[in-house]
């Protein structure tokens, strides 16, 4: 069984390490992988896990790779490709893949979606205030912060390609964001 693991962190290393022990695994690729992952060996064949230079969020290239290599199962580790819809894309193209679809991935990729969902169903959770936040404007978040500084995570769909994480600034009020 030829496997593709998507990601490059410790979670993906643990997944590769365990999958490499399976007697059914004949080859494992990891995109993009890392130096530690590249040290792992598939126990059945003795072959090294092959790291491929494809970013975890480059869905078209991952799809092309999985087709070309005739991958039997893809396992997705990071949240970003899940939020971008990699499971939906692979399933639409008849490729086996393990992970939640794009709609289900919203629970991890969008804290706003998760909190609004839990609030609507009256699920107990910590205090939050999502009201009043606007999307990024000119590299700054526009919104009101209440009495204490808030810690927040932006939903993936709130990022603009030209705004990196280093460009994001938490502003205490709208005047500071102007």
Q: Are 126 and 102 in contact (CB under 8 A)?
A: no
Q: What pLDDT, on a 0 to 100 scale, did the predictor assign at position 18?
A: 96
Give kind and range of the element (H or E) at residue 85: none
Verify that 94 and 159 share a domain, yes or no.
no
Range of the domain at 35: 2-106
Q: What pLDDT, on a 0 to 100 scale, did the predictor assign at position 175?
A: 53
Verify that 13 and 93 share a domain, yes or no.
yes
Q: What pLDDT, on a 0 to 100 scale, did the predictor assign at position 138?
A: 46
Verify that 102 and 128 share a domain, yes or no.
no
Residue 152's pLDDT band, with cuts at 50, 70 and 90, is: very low
- The 3 state secondary structure assigned to 92-151 is HCCCCEECCCHHHHHHHHCHHHHHHHHHHCCCCCCCCCCCCCEEEECCEEECCCCCCCCC
Final residue belonging to a domain, choices 51, 77, 106: 106
CA distances 48 to 35, 70, 107, Å, are: 12, 18, 35
Angle at which helices 111-120 and 102-109 pack, to 10 degrees? 100
Q: What pLDDT, on a 0 to 100 scale, did the predictor assign at position 57?
A: 95
Q: Are 102 and 87 in contact (CB under 8 A)?
A: yes
Verify that 83 and 12 share a domain, yes or no.
yes
Distance in angstroms (rounded) separating the CA atoms of residues 65 and 95? 11
Structural domain contains residue 115: no
Of 59-63, 68-72, 110-114, the range with the lowest mean pLDDT is 110-114
Distance in angstroms (rounded) separating the CA atoms of residues 52 and 29? 7
At 122-137, the pLDDT tens digits run 877 665 555 444 444 4
Verify that 67 and 22 share a domain, yes or no.
yes
Q: Are 89 and 65 in contact (CB under 8 A)?
A: no
Q: Has residue 1 got a pLDDT over 60?
A: yes
Q: Are 42 and 20 in contact (CB under 8 A)?
A: yes
At 10-41, the pLDDT tens digits run 999 999 999 999 999 999 999 999 999 999 99
For residue 117 the two structure tokens come to 């969902």
Specify the CATH number for the domain of residue 53: 3.40.50.20
> pLDDT over 70 for what percent of the chain?
70
Distance in angstroms (rounded) separating the CA atoms of residues 167 and 14? 32
Distance in angstroms (rounded) separating the CA atoms of residues 54 and 62? 7
Final residue belonging to a domain, choices 73, 106, 139: 106
């Amino acid at each position: 069984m030829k496997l593709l693991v998507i990601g490059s962190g410790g979670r993906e290393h643990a997944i590769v390490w365990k999958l490499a022990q399976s007697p059914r695994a004949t080859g494992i690729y990891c995109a993009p992988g890392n130096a530690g992952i590249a040290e792992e060996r598939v126990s059945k064949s003795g072959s090294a896990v092959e790291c491929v230079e494809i970013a975890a969020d480059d869905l078209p290239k991952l799809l092309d790779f999985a087709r070309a290599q005739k991958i039997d199962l893809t396992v997705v580790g990071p949240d970003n490709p899940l939020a971008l819809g990699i499971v939906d894309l692979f399933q639409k193209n008849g490729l086996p893949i393990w992970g939640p679809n794009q709609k289900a991935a919203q629970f991890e990729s969008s804290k706003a979606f998760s909190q609004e969902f839990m609030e609507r169903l009256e699920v107990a959770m910590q205090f939050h205030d999502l009201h009043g936040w606007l999307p990024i404007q000119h590299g700054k978040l526009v919104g009101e912060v209440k009495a204490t500084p808030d810690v927040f995570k932006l939903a993936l769909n709130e990022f603009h390609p030209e705004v990196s994480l280093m460009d994001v600034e938490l502003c205490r009020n709208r005047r500071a964001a102007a």
